[in-house]
Amino acid sequence: MAEIALAPLSSRARRFFELRTVLFTLVLLVTLFLVLYPVLLIIFYSFSSAEVGEDFVFGWRAWNYALSEPAMFGTIINTLKLLLAINLIAFPVAVVISWVLARTDIPWRNGLEFMFWISFFLPSLSVTLGWIMCLDPGHGLFNRAIAALPFIEEGPFNIYSFWGIVWAHLGANSIAVKVMLLTPTFRNMDSSLEEASRIAGAGRLGTLARIVVPAMLPALLAILLMAMIRAMQSFEIELVLGPPFQFYVYSTKVYSLIAQEPPEFGAAAALATLGLAAILPLIFAQRWLATRRQYTTLTGRLQAQPVRLGRWRIPVFLGVLFVVLTLTVIPLIFVALASFMKLFGFFNIPDPYTVGHWVTIFNDEIFLQSIGNTLLMSGGAAILSVVLFSLVAYFTVRTTFKARALLDFVSWLPFAVPGILFGVGLLFVFLESPLFRPLYGTMWLLILATVISSMTLGTQIIKSNMMQLGHELEEASRITGATWWHTFTRVVLPIMVPVLLLVGVMNFIGAARDVASVALVATADTKTLALLQLDYMVEGRYEAGAVASLVVIVMSTGLALVARVFGLRIGIRN
């Protein structure tokens, strides 16, 4: 009888402790620790009235400070105003460009689409520096050229203004990220809707405005909200352009509260919690729209005939080319020019060009150390992200664990929570816990921060491709007696190699250009090249910043071009 009673228990124990269950539990706990725990700590420490270095004391001091100080609450208002202005301009432009790239016979459309990806990969600081060189009110080349005209005393442009920040965002990646997301959406639309509209006598623009956009409205709104959530992660542009005219958004205010002496961790946590509360409605609205099924534009009888532009084909091509060149080539030309000038903007001095900035920077030990830190951080983030994201995607898509929905939800949080907020949470995790405090100031903390920030996109790319795999190969492997681990590593992963390489490349690039996620957790010994570039720009050393910018561009965008040459397709299909 004892043997009969113990046998089922032993079987259950073996199932509980089998490798797949243990690994799933480990992945879930690691993900919860890296993603959810820092967010909860932000909220928890916003209710602390203790001074720096003291034990937790419950109180409302931080909230009283955050809610009673007009400048604190004003940063949330500034953030929302900036989001509204950017997206009112960027979204209509991106809709038209995406429709042109996906639905018309415009020449070289694949190349143009990839150029928008290049624009997305360009570091925001580098693009912003290029526009500073053009639009600085005193020394910007555009202003100096206009001021040289008769009857004009000064140039009309000022990059250090609200609309200057808006333009910097448009020129950085606000338009590019929307084109990346919208183009596949339009490409998957059944062209019979457009053909019916044209048969009824509607023109191309009328069809776009009255048929295509309304039919795609749920998807368009979901992408708009996704882009707005991503835009709230912006940090470095406002940190460089905002202080000269006392303009702060909540992310720069959080940074200044922690960077000051003594740091105001409680007030920073309270302000971060307010920012999270402002984002939550966007998160729920985006998720609701993304799961709606009222509008079906992709069916089994898909027709995807391109719209013929006729005599407008070349003018439209030139218009899209002009936009993408404005986003990429123009600012980079001025960044390169600035790196070779003694003092940018002063062409009338004797012998204005020099390589001295390059020589000085490359002889600087701090600069060389930052290059090493960047390569180490980016390489580590690429490897760790591929391992972690592939496991998260597999357990979410290919298993029946009851907690897989929780794992999927947590993997979406990094996209919704700005990197500066995760930086605050990670500070609390690694400073307040004696167990993890030794990791503070090490490269591991920067790697974890960049992996968290890229978790959503990387996991979703792997998931979308893994969902297209049939179960027959895995079933055949199990029938031959292979274990789950053998099937996963010898069958599933080899098929997914191109996708995993893509995710690794994207995370290497993202880590190399990341500023917001690592700004609060980096130290003098772990400072990356992007953070050093930020320091140069905040200090007004634009020539040195230009040299650093070009090196970051080579490390990030150069890798994307190499991957493209070797056939690694960079793009979004689903």
Angle between helices 162-169 and 124-135 (to 10 degrees): 130
pLDDT given at position 4:
41
Q: Which residues contact 41 (CB under 8 A, 6 or more apart)?
A: 425, 428, 429, 432
Extract long-range pairs of 488-494: CB within 8 Å, 24+ residues apart: 488/394, 492/394, 492/398, 492/466, 493/390
- When the pLDDT of each residue in the chain is averaged and rounded to a whole number, the result is 78
Q: Say yes or no to pLDDT of 282 above 70.
A: no
Q: Sign of torsion, CA 345 351 353 357? A: negative
Q: Name which of 30-39, 54-63, 112-121, 547-556 the model is least confident about.
A: 54-63
pLDDT band for position 161 (cuts 50, 70, 90): very high
Confidence label for 188 from pLDDT (cuts 50, 70 and 90): low
For 234: left if phi > 0, alpha if psi spans -120 to 50, otherwise beta; the answer is beta
- Cβ atoms of residues 307 and 104 within 8 Å: yes
pLDDT at residue 162 above 90?
yes
Mean of pLDDT values over 2-7: 41
CB 130 within 8 A of CB 335: yes
Confidence of residue 160 (pLDDT cuts 50, 70, 90): very high
154, 542 Cβ separation under 8 angstroms: no
Residue among 205, 209, 207, 180 at smallest CA distance from 191: 207
Q: What average pLDDT does the segment 199-227 reach?
A: 65
User: Phi and psi at residue 353, in whole multiples of 5°?
Assistant: -100, 150
Residue with tokens 């009338």: 348
CA gyration radius, the chain: 26
pLDDT tops 90 at residue 376: yes
Predicted local confidence at residue 245, as pLDDT = 87
The answer to whether 416 and 473 are in contact (CB under 8 A) is: no
**Across 199-221, average pLDDT:** 63
Alpha carbons within 13 angstroms on the beta-carbon side of residue 170 total: 22
Question: For 382-434, what is each residue's pLDDT tens digit?
Answer: 999 998 998 888 888 888 888 888 888 888 778 766 677 777 788 778 877 77
In this structure, of 346-350, 369-373, 562-566, the range with the lowest mean pLDDT score is 562-566
The reply to whether the predicted model has a pTM over 0.75 is yes
The neighbouring-strand residues paired with 353 are: 341
Measured between alpha carbons, how far is 553 from 271 in angstroms, rounded to an integer?
Answer: 33
Instruction: Walk me through the domains of the chain, giving residue ranges and CATH numbers.
Output: 77-329 (1.10.3720.10), 355-574 (1.10.3720.10)
Amino acid (one-letter) located at 439: L
Cα diameter, the chain? 106
Q: How far is 523 from 439, CA to CA, in rounded Å?
A: 12
Q: Which helix (H) or strand (E) holds 20?
A: helix 19-31
Task: Tell me what the mean pLDDT of segment 96-101 comes to.
Answer: 88
* Main-chain dihedrals φ then ψ at residue 15, nearest 5 degrees: -65, -40
Smallest CA-to-CA distance from 198 within 285, 306, 274, 54 is with 306
Distance of CA 52 to the CA centre of its chain: 32
Q: CA 357 → CA 12, 123, 364, 441, 545, distances in Å?
A: 68, 20, 11, 30, 10
Spacing of C-alpha 210 from chain mean position: 32
Residue 67: per-residue pLDDT:
74
Higher pLDDT: 151 or 325? It is 325
The pLDDT assigned to 470 comes to 66
